[in-house]
Chains A and B, each alone.
Chain A
Amino acid sequence: MESNAFLKATRAKWAVVRSDDRLLLIALAGFVGAFSGLAAVALNRGLHFMGEVFQDVHHHWWGFLLPAAGASLAAVILSIVLKERAGHGVPEVIYAVSRHGGLLRMRSSFSRLLASCLTIGTGGSAGPEAPVVISGAALGSNIARFFSLKERQRIILVGCGAAGAISSIFNAPITGLVFTVEVILGEWRASNIIPIAIAAVAGTEVSRALQGNQIAFEHQQFVIHWTDTVASLGIVVFATAASLILSYLLRSMHQVAGRTRWPRWLRPAIGGAAVGLIGIFLPLVLGEGYQSIQEMIRGTFTQGLALAALVLAAKIAATSLTLGWGGAGGIFAPSLMIGSLVGVLYYRLLTGFIPAGALTNEGCFALLGMAGMVSGILQAPLTAIFLVVEITGGYDVILPLILVSALTSTSCYYIESGSYYLRDLIEQGQYLRPGTDARVLSDMTVAELVDSGDKPVPGDMLLSDFVRILEHSRRYLFPVEDRTTGDYLGIVFVDRIRPYLFDTHMHAVIMLEQVMDDSVPVVRLDDELVDVLYRMESDGLSALPVVEDGRFVGMLSKATLLDHYRKELIVQTGV
């Protein structure tokens, strides 16, 4: 009896949660955030383990083969065993959110973790954040699917997964929240932020419970003067240049790799071997590079100006080789190291011209370089600011940090309008910016809006017969089809044939196919509605015929389209 009462009470409570979407989302957000956090911890532990196992191997002459073997094995696991495509995964998440209501494959929740563990753990120059983002996002997506949530709610849980993962891997909850909203979802809305914030907290708590409350880099005290803020403006130029070079090289390497006829599993091995070769001479470029970043922040990075410049160039090359040739991993960690090198180099160049005492130490500039680089490559200034603040535990440098992030992001945007994550999607026309007509309309199809009520008239119909139809009709346009084949021929616009209608002598002479307009653009069932709307506006038409397989399907009117657009907008702005 007691157990029955307990079951009933539990069911009643679950019914309350299920009936209120916000409560349900909050409950699931914590769940998704915690699981994403676990995935991130697993990757972190895996990377530590791999680092310990292989730390001596890199010193051997044949050590360059290790990154090649790791990247190649990762590619085999991804493409042959798990049948996934390589890549870091964040564009895949953005694409899923943008186009398919956040639907992601379950296998994505672990495939990139395995692959990136092998790639980065053996020395590949990449970061762990992108693999954990897609893992967390895939977990969120599949949990949403399990609970049969609506599309809008599924997208939020995808964001929760990404937030939980980023929060956990960097022990940085605000960065997780901001990254998700700024980069993954691309829209700031209270209904999004609350569950994502909860997921970020859950992910961070899991990380702290299992790994301790540690920040990635030891906190340093900096005393910032106005001179540092002014001097930081120069970093914008250097960080912009470095971001663009890295971005260009990543793309070039990807194109070169794509043009080769080598098997997919072999391509990352080529990149990995090249990175391994660089690593023999400059081991600093291998892996995440957190130790070097720590030294730069501390001001104990002892390499001279020339060597630091060489490491910078080598790190950019190594990152391009790793990721461009199909290695699994993210861009955050390499960007942090490249950025800190940019900052250190800039500081050392600057102190060659002005007295060193006028500025705070080079560790501060390393932080500014990191923020500039991340904001430049991701074009996400808030993510960069909060990431640097949270992983270094310092708020001292916030003013120049904001300045550098905002300006670098803006300058990169002016030169290249898409971030590293979005560029390919934008170029292929596959990215639908949140809040745009294209995004709202992408959730509807031509088939849903087409009005099949308008029956076509045969092309060989005489005008006299047509006038009789017209007498009993309120339509102003008539689709015309071939009587024998049933193929669509064109449209008769009543207002355009008025001279013939009033000339009764013509009624027995003219057939509809002589007066129809066959130049009206037609719509196909798989056309994008935003393109259809554009066609209507550019041609000044209020309706277009939908034709599939050569047959007339129905008419699609602008009024219907805009009416459904408004309804969809209401749906998308609610939860």
Chain B
Amino acid sequence: MKPWICNCAVFIFIIAVTSAMAADTVIIHRVDDFITPADIKSGISPADRDAPRVAMSHKSHEKAGLECIQCHHKENNDTRIYQCAKCHKGNAGMEIMHSACIDCHTKSGSGPADCSGCHSRKDAELKGFIRFSLFDFVKGPGLWITFLVFALGCYYRVTQMIKFTWMMKHPTSHFISPDLIRTSIFYKNKNPLMKLLFKIKYSFRKSVFGWNPVMGTVSSIFHLLIFTAPLTLPAHNILFDEAFRISFITLPEGLIDKFVVVIIGIMIFFLLRRVFYPRVRMISTLGDFGILLMVAVPFITAYFAYHQYADYRSVLLAHIITGEIVIMAIPFSRLGHMPFFLFARFFMSSEYTLGVGNRRW
């Protein structure tokens, strides 16, 4: 069997399995889970009691008519995805959590009000074990594995590429078309800033932007957004913070939602281009469509998850897993142009690159 068929089959299988296994049940973190040495110094004491974790179903609460804001407060928590125990730590946190749940349960007369009603080990382990452990896995070690595979793969690919190239003793000087010199007001000027502007204008004109402006602009926007959207999303930054203790600048979620729409739109443009533009169709293979689909799935699921179409948790799980697969596939597939990008644009010697380039194949 051809390798891409295998890849696609595995990919679809994983999506199917995860969407079948995913559930809306979450295991609530213990109030002690986030306590740091600094917290203990500042006087937060761990909870006295040590009960099993609680398995809580969002769906059953939604069915009972509760709204998100009734449990997840909104101040300083616009996205309402912070875990309660992250702020409400220790003994005080236990009180807050208990009063929030038990008060509501007793007032409405539905839902358990005694300890074992919620803190049942069996419940937490059986109900959410397979489902939640998968979710936990993709969020924790899965992310580590993904980035490790990605980093090592990129390192391998780039070293492989460097091995095939060599430094040039005499870098080729760019040939500047006489027409361009004659017509450019920048070049005639003696001002060094204007000269620099000419150089920039010149290198743009002879690059992809010059000969294929539509494709150059569209693909630049696409590649810019495909990086900014996931890296600046608040929800992702919370995960980065939890996993690696790093975070980037965040943009509002509404804006990133628009980015995602643009990304999906451009992908449809790429697809149509591949189908209807003869020169692209001539060299297209099924693998090209597969890669396009593979990159599209995480963004489509992201859109679905943000707007809460379909079952939120299964969509989210599919989103995380497909996203991780795509990141891992980057160095080993056609997406490898990500680590090669700098070489191709700036270091390789060619009359069409943006940079000067002093390496040769």
A binds B: no
